[in-house]
Amino acid sequence: MKGEFLMTEPILRINNLHKKFKDTEVLKGVTLTVNEGEVVVIIGPSGTGKSTLLRCINRLTEPDAGEIYLGEHKIESAKSNLTKVRQRIGMVFQDFNLFNHLTALQNVAIGPIKVKKMNKKDALELAMRELERVGMADKAQNYPAELSGGQKQRVAIARALAMDPEIMLFDEPTSALDPELIGEVLEVMKKLADAGMTMVVVSHEMGFAREAADRIVFLEDGVIAEMGSPEKIFNNPEKERTREFISKIARLHGSDSEMPGTGS
């Protein structure tokens, strides 16, 4: 088990996070610590704030209350340090969000060039290595619109990796994919997890969660209802609600595929 080799240094600390959209309170006080090298998979019904939680971490969504620390660094929206913090956090979106006007290679290189001021030649070499890492080197010169969903998502992962982040956030990375394309993305993510990357993943991919996760967080109704090892959550949950939810997912699409339409 991967967990036995865990380093226990906390890298991400979320403390009592609250977020309201208009009258709907989406996050009602979430507290979560992620250790270095740990893979945390967040599951939960639609609309329980899974995506909002991830987006609050790098301030794409501004939380109403609560603190988030990356290492010792408190993440705030004082704009001077926000771009610095975001460089240290890789994010992978449900809809890929590759830059449409750039080739796969340029998509991966643009972060190092624009943000880290790396010279173009080095950045392109780095980008090529990252594309190789996700098995997309042969499509380096293709534009996003010429790639399949799975290929796009792999490039998006490479784009995030090129910034050499300390932690990677995955916001339902396979939910927009056709079933036959999910595997290639999960494979890349598993490889990444095995390589020791700290990851927070919002996903209902039970196969991935079982194999790669150190911890499963069951988020419901804006709070963490239960959390624990995959073994505990899948086989022996404390709460009836957790059991219901797990069996519902399993029933809907077996234990190894993504349930469509579970976006939140």
Partner 1 sequence: MGLINDKAFDVLRSIPYLLEGVGITLEITVIALVLGTIAGLFLALCRVYGGSFLHNFAVVYSRIIRSLPLLVIVFMLYFLGSEIINIPAFWAAVLALAMHTSAYQIEIFRGAIQSINKGQMEAALALGMSKYQSIFAVILPQSLRRAIPYWANEATIVLKDSAMAYVLGITELMRRSEYVSARTAQPMLTYIVSGLIYLIMTYAFTKSMAKVESKVRIPGLER
Encoded tokens for 130: 């990252």
What is the Cα–Cα distance from 170 to 40, expressed in whole angstroms? 10
- Residue 68 phi/psi, 5-degree rounding, is -130, 130
Give min distance, CB of 2 to partner 1, in A.
Answer: 26
Q: Which residues bind partner 1 (CB under 8 A)?
A: 58, 60, 83-84, 86-87, 89-91, 93, 95, 97-101, 110-111, 114-115, 142-146, 156, 159-160, 163
Give min distance, CB of 98 to partner 1, in A.
Answer: 7
What is the Cα–Cα distance from 55 to 40, expressed in whole angstroms? 15
- Residue 18 phi/psi, 5-degree rounding, is -125, 140
Classify 114 as helix, strand or coil: helix
DSSP 52-97: HHHHHHTTSS--SEEEEEETTEEP---HHHHHHHHHTEEEE-TT--
Nearer to partner 1, 83 or 119 (CB): 83
Classify 123 as helix, strand or coil: helix
Nearer to partner 1, 91 or 216 (CB): 91
Nearer to partner 1, 176 or 181 (CB): 176
Give min distance, CB of 1 to partner 1, in A.
Answer: 31
DSSP 163-219: T--SEEEEESTTTTS-HHHHHHHHHHHHHHHHTT--EEEE---HHHHHHH-SEEEEE
- Confirm if 43 and 203 have CB atoms less than 8 A apart: yes
Give min distance, CB of 16 to partner 1, in A.
Answer: 24
- Confirm if 66 and 17 have CB atoms less than 8 A apart: yes
Nearer to partner 1, 95 or 221 (CB): 95
Give min distance, CB of 234 to partner 1, in A.
Answer: 31
Give min distance, CB of 214 to partner 1, in A.
Answer: 24
Give min distance, CB of 127 to partner 1, in A.
Answer: 13
Closest CA to 237 of 203, 262, 245, 47: 245
